[in-house]
Amino acid sequence: MNYRSRQKRGQAPTFFYAPADQIDETSLTLSGQEAKHATTVCRLAKGSQMTVTDGAGNAYDCEITGVKRGVVHADIVRAHRRLGEPFATVTLAVGVGKPATVDWIVEKGVELGVSSIVPIRCANSVSGLSDSAAAKRRLSRWRRLALGAMKQSLRSVRPDVHEIMSIDDARTLIDDHQMSFIADPDGQPLSIAAHSHVQMTKSLLFVGPEAGFTNDECARLIDAGAVPFSLGARRLRAETAAIVSLTLLLKELDEL
Amino acid sequence: MNYRSRQKRGQAPTFFYAPADQIDETSLTLSGQEAKHATTVCRLAKGSQMTVTDGAGNAYDCEITGVKRGVVHADIVRAHRRLGEPFATVTLAVGVGKPATVDWIVEKGVELGVSSIVPIRCANSVSGLSDSAAAKRRLSRWRRLALGAMKQSLRSVRPDVHEIMSIDDARTLIDDHQMSFIADPDGQPLSIAAHSHVQMTKSLLFVGPEAGFTNDECARLIDAGAVPFSLGARRLRAETAAIVSLTLLLKELDEL
């Protein structure tokens, strides 16, 4: 339903993206696909209003002054800092399964407000991740999807998508976060599991691939400090478990 | 990650379905696609254990006694009542948008535990719903998806998928439920919006199509008693908003 569509009616249906080197104090340009999207799909032209973000927390309300040779030129009317961004910093560490599933989790994770995404190679990951060409293709696809979801959800920070790492490397991330969580049928509801941790400005959430983390992987993550929490009595598919976990965590962090 | 996969390891990876007329006190049969799925995909054979549900709240642990002419015969070892079912009764009323979006919402809604699904024809619905052949095709697809999701999520009740109804008819459902909710950017967080309603064993959740409910539709639903609640500061796509709303409601109902 494009939640917020009514509130945002009259605004451009998306944010546009320009890298910092195309932005100065009073004006900016859109080029390439962004310019094409603005002029062809959204039919913006001289005099149109739009909001552009640099993906680093800056967003600019602009007025288009002209379109020349496929480049959109605009004057900055107003600057915002961290528009659409959550207060909480959430890292989503996701076991790499089938392409469609991970793509979808990346997109929804960014929409919901994660700060960064860490793809993990684990025992039940799909094969082919050691072929670095295939892994690179998937990584650049996730980064494109993260950019698109940032614009679509009206965020101003483009979440990092890290290179695929081993579960042992991902495990060391637990020490860098105030709280880490992992869905586990034996865990308690998240609101109870996280109860004593009022200050969780920086948290880490592990979600497994389709076939799950192995018992051993789960035990090692929990041993390193990840708190197990339950997702209710029904069995959820990987992508459902990912989004439900993230929703519950963001609710606990007062972002929902 | 197939949440619960570790807990359920060793069990069949899905429930099977048999209509009540194929089940008697001590034995049952699987036929058609169900029998094929059991024998070909899951490679079950004489002596294999499986769990079969009638979709009406009964589930049976069985042992296969034989497979003859594409029909699986099994002895009932143990019967369960409402296995995998939530205590709360939640009806999901969803504005009919693009096929892939509604299909997905139906599947995820059933996984998460809804009791019934009401597809709504609203101002921003896709066209073609008045062609009754197309509407019938979509309805039977949703019913198939609901059956599949029931089996996959290890539930024993097959949620009803009602025929597509007008938003005015859907509006009258509000009176049949203890609480009704609708996502709205002007609403409060659900935990606050629902705060005073401890007993909500029967609730109704409205989720819009891609382009949202119109202001007028929203106002009429709220006027009839639907409580508006917010989904945070970021703009969510239709399918994300649907699953996030449902997750928050189920959390409020202590199902998550």
What does the pLDDT read at residue A197?
57
Does residue A3 belong to any structural domain of this protein?
A: no
Q: How many domains does chain A have?
A: 2
Cβ distance B113 to A232 less than 8 Å, yes or no, reads yes
Q: Are residues A93 and A77 in the same domain?
A: no
What does the pLDDT read at residue A179?
92
Report chain A residues whose CB lies below 8 A from the CB of B236: 2-4, 111-112, 153
Q: Are residues B207 and B248 in the same domain?
A: yes
- Of B113, B185, B234, Cβ closest to residue A113: B234
Q: Are residues A155 and A194 in the same domain?
A: yes
Does residue A50 belong to any structural domain of this protein?
A: yes
| A137 vs B: CB within 8 A | no
Q: Are residues A54 and A28 in the same domain?
A: yes
Does residue A63 belong to any structural domain of this protein?
A: yes
What does the pLDDT read at residue A146?
97
Q: Would you say residue B105 has pLDDT above 70?
A: yes
Instruction: Mark which residues 153-192 of A lie under 8 Å from B by CB.
Output: 153-155, 183-186, 189-191
Instruction: Note the pLDDT tens digit of each residue in B50-88.
Output: 999 999 999 999 999 999 999 999 999 999 999 999 999
Q: Where are the alpha helices (DSSP H) in chain A?
A: 5-8, 32-36, 99-112, 132-152, 167-172, 190-193, 215-223, 238-252
Residue of B234, B246, B247 best to disrupt the A interface, most CBs of A under 10 A: B234
Distance from CA of B194 to the nearest CA of A (A): 14
Q: Are residues B150 and B24 in the same domain?
A: no
| A20 vs B: CB within 8 A | no
- DSSP, residue by residue, A93-129: EEE---HHHHHHHHHHHHHHT-SEEEEEE-TTSPTTT
Q: Could you tell me which of A144, A110, A185, A3 has the C-alpha nearest to residue B212?
A: A3
Q: Are residues B104 and B221 in the same domain?
A: yes
User: Which chain A residue has its CA at the smallest distance from B255's CA?
Assistant: A232
User: What is the torsional sign of CA B17, B23, B28, B32?
Assistant: negative
**Which of B37, B57, B81 is the endpoint of a domain?**
B81
Query: Higher pLDDT residue, A9 or B202?
Result: B202
Domain that holds residue A76: 10-81
Backbone angles phi, psi at A120, to 5 degrees: -115, 135
The pTM for the full model equals: 0.90
Q: Could you tell me which of A146, A91, A82 has the C-alpha nearest to residue A114?
A: A91
| A6 vs B: CB within 8 A | yes
Does residue A4 belong to any structural domain of this protein?
A: no
Report chain B residues whose CB lies below 8 A from the CB of A191: 251
**Which of A81, A113, A137 is the endpoint of a domain?**
A81
Report chain B residues whose CB lies below 8 A from the CB of A211: 1-2, 5
Instruction: Note the pLDDT tens digit of each residue in B140-194.
Output: 999 999 999 999 999 999 999 999 999 999 999 999 999 999 998 888 888 888 8
Q: Are residues A58 and A120 in the same domain?
A: no
Task: Kindly list the averaged pLDDT for each block of 10 residues, start to end, along chain A of length 256.
Answer: 42 83 96 94 94 96 95 97 93 94 96 96 85 89 96 95 95 94 89 72 92 93 95 92 95 90
Q: Tell me the CATH number at B96.
A: 3.40.1280.10
Report chain A residues whose CB lies below 8 A from the CB of B213: 1
Q: Are residues A248 and A203 in the same domain?
A: yes
| A228 vs B: CB within 8 A | no
Cβ distance B248 to A256 less than 8 Å, yes or no, reads yes
Q: Are residues B146 and B187 in the same domain?
A: yes
Backbone angles phi, psi at B79, to 5 degrees: -110, 140
Q: Are residues A45 and A120 in the same domain?
A: no
Does residue A162 belong to any structural domain of this protein?
A: yes
Residue of B188, B210, B235 best to disrupt the A interface, most CBs of A under 10 A: B235
Cβ distance B2 to A154 less than 8 Å, yes or no, reads no
E strand or H helix that includes residue B99: helix B99-112
Q: Are residues B20 and B58 in the same domain?
A: yes
**Residue A241 corresponds to which tokens in the numbers above?**
């478990």
Q: Would you say residue B248 has pLDDT above 80?
A: yes
Q: Tell me the CATH number at B67.
A: 2.40.240.20
**Which of B25, B58, B81 is the endpoint of a domain?**
B81
Cβ distance A209 to B1 less than 8 Å, yes or no, reads yes
Helix or strand or coil: residue A238?
helix
Whether the CB-CB separation of A158 and A209 falls below 8 Å is answered with: no
Q: Would you say residue B107 has pLDDT above 60?
A: yes
Q: Are residues A183 and A71 in the same domain?
A: no
